[in-house]
Amino acid sequence: MIDISRCYYTTIHSQTLSTDGRFLFCGSNFGEIFLFSVERITSCNAADSPPLELDQLPTVPLQTLSVTDRCPIYSLSFHKDFLIVGLNGEICGFQWSSKAGTIGKKAWTVKLPAPPESADMSEVNYMWLNAKDDMLYAGCGDNVLYGVSLEDGKVCREFHGHTDYIHCVSGCVGKLATASEDGSVLLWDSRQKTSYAKIEPHTKPALQRSEFGRWQGTVAMTEDWLVCGGGPRFSLWHLRSLDCTADFDFPDRVHVSGFVDDLIYAGGDCRKFYQYNFNGDVTAEIPTSGSSVYSVALQTEPYRFLSIAGASAQIDVCTNFSYRDIILNTYAKR
């Protein structure tokens, strides 16, 4: 039985897409996962699509899975035949059937090292997957970045350096970046346990926003560039020189960011999702259903698809990356 009253209090903290790009998974503050068909969303958005009955609409979840009542689902990932879920102190893999389009039973669990008594539970705040190496990197509430081998399910590396919990993890070509509540972005070689560089945006007067604090909520990187934001202004950095080359006029705190089509995107405590060019100019403003954006799922192949979620039971979908095409509803009467 669906509790429709939850739609007023739902926050979507995490999203991920299946490897084949056909399915979207969304994790909520109530410990639930909502499954949507990207195929149905994109095909039914076509102008020549026939009208559909309510139970055929792509805005309705194909499946709602209750995973836990102990914590929100802050992070999701997907690898091969498993939906990967980050919980408090553990990472779980749920069997996935692409043929049936359903999430199955829990197949495996990786227990993270117990934090010291003085530390909080090591909730998994963010996961970044290196599919080529079968490595999953988890940024956690105990200030540690864990490298987990998905071949044998073991924690094979711990990256220590932050003094407060990690909000976000990104990676590219053997390099990793982590954004933390301590106000820093640390850069890592995935083969080394210590960071090789540190970026502290709050130390630059042009980026300071004292009313929002020093914390860094998001980071994204390519081979040459890095963007980060949180309390300080959202900013672009050249990785070789570690110089800040641009900052962006995002109006509030920043929680998500990334690169797409030679553009940069950002979302946060604002009812608009922004896209910028590398000079810092706004190229698109997309309205959002919630007051804050906490997660983004994006792909360009096989379907051009961008979903934006946060402090709302609704999820905003863009198939052209410039404006909102459709709104998904996590709770709906069939």
What pLDDT score was predicted for residue 47? 44
- For each of the chain's 334 residues, which pLDDT tens digit applies? 556 678 889 999 999 999 999 999 999 999 999 999 999 999 875 444 444 444 446 788 999 999 999 999 999 999 999 999 999 999 999 999 988 899 999 999 999 997 766 555 689 999 999 999 999 999 999 999 999 999 999 999 999 999 999 999 999 999 999 999 999 999 999 999 999 999 999 999 999 999 999 999 999 999 999 999 999 999 999 999 999 999 999 999 999 999 999 999 999 999 999 999 999 999 999 999 999 999 999 999 999 999 999 999 999 999 999 999 999 999 865 4
Here the tokens at position 295 are 């997660």
What pLDDT score was predicted for residue 60? 87
Q: What angle do CA 38, 20, 272 make, to 5 degrees?
A: 45
What pLDDT score was predicted for residue 116? 64
User: Rounded to an integer, what distance in angstroms lies between the CA atom of residue 29 and that of residue 36?
Assistant: 18
User: Rounded to an integer, what distance in angstroms lies between the CA atom of residue 254 and that of residue 320?
Assistant: 23
